[in-house]
């Protein structure tokens, strides 16, 4: 089936003390790649998050944002550098003694020095929050998957429309190709008669027509293009990720169309080739967003 690589999902899980919110967005990418942003004390469960995401996402670049609010997430402690305090005190005492300063040493003088007293923050590791994070990630991933599936349904409709147009051009090519040789024969006979006073060498005409028919024959290319169309439709129904396979098939179809274009000795065929390449380009652009 067709699944888009573009989507957005949001999950929110609450307990008595904490609220975990997870938002994720995905865009097209050649491989599967995750960028997870969450409080560093929970980064140890990053592998579990990725494993959970892999259940819903097979390909694409996914940004995941985890926010946690509530009580007890961070513990703060005061840290005093007693050795440095002692050095400061001795320095101030010596200065006062040397210069006969009678002013008392104020506590404010020490509190105003940020290098003496600092606030240390320690993030709490909480097993309950880890469970909430995983639940919120799964909820967001399910929502993301629904959006990607929904957009994939629209992509499928677009594919079917353009494939129908492509098939229509192939039918026209198939019916017109034999006429090219006959038209060439008529022009050749007319030209030779003009040059030979209304007489023409039939054997020479047959030889020239045979050479032209061989050089301009596009039967094999048309057969392969029809085969690719069948495979394309079949691939669209596959349960596995199909983006890369479809991209390869478009390349092969482009190659066949280019070959037809190089053999074209007819304006109608050239016009149809341009239309085929235009359709393939539209398909290629859409395929870039298929998982």
The span from the first CA to the last CA of the chain, in angstroms, equals 10
Tell the burial category of 189 from Cβ atoms under 10 Å away from its Cβ (0-12, 13-18, 19+).
middle
Q: Which domains does the chain have, with CATH numbers?
A: 7-72+125-147 (3.30.230.40), 74-123 (no CATH), 148-287 (1.20.140)
- pLDDT by residue for the chain (291 residues), tens digit each? 899 999 999 999 998 888 999 999 999 998 999 999 998 878 889 999 999 999 999 999 999 999 988 765 655 667 788 888 888 888 888 887 887 877 776 777 777 777 888 866 565 557 888 889 999 999 999 999 999 999 999 999 999 999 999 999 999 988 887 765 565 555 655 565 555 555 556 666 566 555 555 566 777 888 899 999 999 999 999 989 999 999 999 999 999 999 888 777 778 888 999 999 999 999 999 999 999
| Distance between CA atoms of residues 178 and 94, nearest Å | 110
Q: Which residues have CB under 8 Å from 119's CB, separation 6+?
A: 76, 77, 78, 79
3-class DSSP assignment, residue 205: helix
**pLDDT for res 207:** 66
56 in Cβ contact with 26 (< 8 Å): no
pTM across the whole model: 0.71
What are the residues facing 9 on neighbouring strands? 24
Which element (helix H / strand E) includes 61?
strand 60-70
What are 158's two structure tokens?
């677009």
């Amino acid at each position: 089936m067709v699944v888009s690589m573009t989507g957005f999902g949001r999950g929110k899980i609450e307990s008595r003390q904490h609220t975990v919110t997870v938002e994720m967005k995905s865009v097209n990418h050649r491989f599967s790649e995750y960028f997870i942003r969450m409080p560093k004390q929970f980064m140890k469960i990053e592998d579990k998050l990725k494993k959970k995401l892999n259940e819903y996402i097979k390909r694409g670049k996914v940004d995941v944002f985890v926010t946690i609010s509530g009580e007890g997430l961070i513990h703060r402690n005061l840290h005093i550098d007693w050795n440095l305090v002692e050095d400061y005190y001795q320095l101030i005492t010596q200065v006062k003694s040397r210069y006969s300063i009678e002013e008392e040493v104020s506590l404010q003088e020490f509190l105003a020095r940020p290098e003496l007293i600092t606030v240390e923050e320690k993030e709490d590791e909480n097993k309950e929050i880890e469970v909430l994070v995983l639940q919120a990630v799964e909820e967001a991933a399910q929502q993301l998957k629904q959006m990607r599936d929904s957009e994939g349904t629209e992509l499928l409709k677009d594919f079917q429309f353009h494939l129908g147009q492509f098939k229509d051009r192939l039918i026209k090519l198939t019916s017109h190709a034999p006429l090219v040789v006959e038209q060439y024969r008529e022009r050749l006979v007319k030209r030779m008669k003009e040059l030979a006073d209304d007489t023409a060498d039939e054997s020479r005409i047959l030889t020239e027509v045979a050479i032209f028919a061989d050089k301009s024959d596009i039967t094999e290319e048309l057969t392969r293009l029809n085969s690719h169309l069948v495979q394309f439709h079949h691939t669209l129904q596959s349960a596995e990720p199909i983006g890369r396979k479809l991209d390869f098939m478009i390349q092969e179809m482009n190659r066949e169309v280019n070959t037809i274009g190089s053999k074209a000795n007819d304006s109608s065929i050239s016009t149809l080739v341009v239309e085929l390449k235009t359709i393939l380009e539209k398909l290629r652009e859409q395929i870039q967003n298929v998982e």
